[in-house]
Amino acid sequence: DIENIEVISKSQLVLSQFPSIITGEKKVIKIPLDGHGNLLVNFAGPLGIDVYPQAISAWDLLKSERSSDVSGKLVIFSDISTQAGDYSPIPLENLFPRSYLISNAVNTILSEQFIRDTPGMISSLIIGLFVIVIILMCIKFDTFKFNIGSLCVTVLYVVGVFIFFLVCGLILPLIPVIAPLGGVYLFSSVFKHSHTERH
């Protein structure tokens, strides 16, 4: 019901008295938004019967001998018979059926497998931390150890980003951290090389 939907901010939406799929008991679902009022959809995968086994073609339904019982189920209809039908572009595909996009959004809410974006302040802290680590390695290590250490720090961060996304659904900044890190590494390498040459 509309009175059980509360918009806290552009970063959170609360659904109270929401029935649980398994038990049917009422509960509160806190939906994280992206700061602009949008839900980050946990995408199941590309279009295919193996990813969306409950998708039913209207034509197959009409030809079928037995009737499909959809009572008590949430059914989403759309016309995807032609490219001019109910399609939208998404980041992973040029055209994707809107009904599948809505079903992905519904599944994200019902399963509570939300994707959370990190605030800009966290990105700045991560960049600052890695810049300090690179500078300290530049001061303490010789050229070979510095290069290996910098590479290890970068690889560990990239692996950590993927692990956090897969396990926690948390999006950590990748390019905004790697780009400044690369700049600091290059500057530190040039500084270290010139310092060594001077000696």
Q: Can you tell me the mean pLDDT for 157-183?
A: 86
Residue 54's nearest CA partner among 102, 103, 19 is: 103
- Element counts in the chain: helices (H) and strands (E): 5, 7
Which residue is listed with tokens 């780009």?
Answer: 179
Phi then psi for residue 27, to 5 deg, are -145, 175
pLDDT single digits (tens) 14-43: 999 888 777 778 889 999 998 888 999 998
Residue 150's nearest CA partner among 176, 175, 131 is: 131
**CB atoms near residue 69 (< 10 Å):** 7
Q: Can you tell me the mean pLDDT for 169-188?
A: 80
At residue 125, the pLDDT reads 87
Can you tell me the distance from the alpha carbon of 47 to that of 5, in angstroms, rounded to the nearest whole number?
31
Can you tell me the distance from the alpha carbon of 143 to that of 190, in angstroms, rounded to the nearest whole number?
10
pLDDT category at 193 given cuts 50, 70, 90 is low
Which residue is listed with tokens 């398994």?
Answer: 22
Higher pLDDT, 130 or 160: 160
Query: Which residue type occupies 128?
Result: G
pLDDT single digits (tens) 107-153: 999 888 899 888 778 878 888 888 888 778 777 887 778 788 888 88
In percent, how much of the chain has pLDDT > 90?
A: 12
Q: Looking at the predicted structure, is the pLDDT value of residue 159 above 90?
A: yes
Question: Which of 10-19, 86-95, 177-186 shows the lowest per-residue confidence on average (mean pLDDT)?
Answer: 177-186
Parallel/antiparallel/unpaired status of strands 116-117 and 93-97: unpaired
At residue 163, the pLDDT reads 93
Q: Looking at the predicted structure, is the pLDDT value of residue 57 above 70?
A: yes
**CB atoms near residue 134 (< 10 Å):** 24
Query: What's the chain's average pLDDT?
Result: 83
Higher pLDDT, 69 or 112: 112
Q: Looking at the predicted structure, is the pLDDT value of residue 196 above 70?
A: no
At residue 31, the pLDDT reads 92
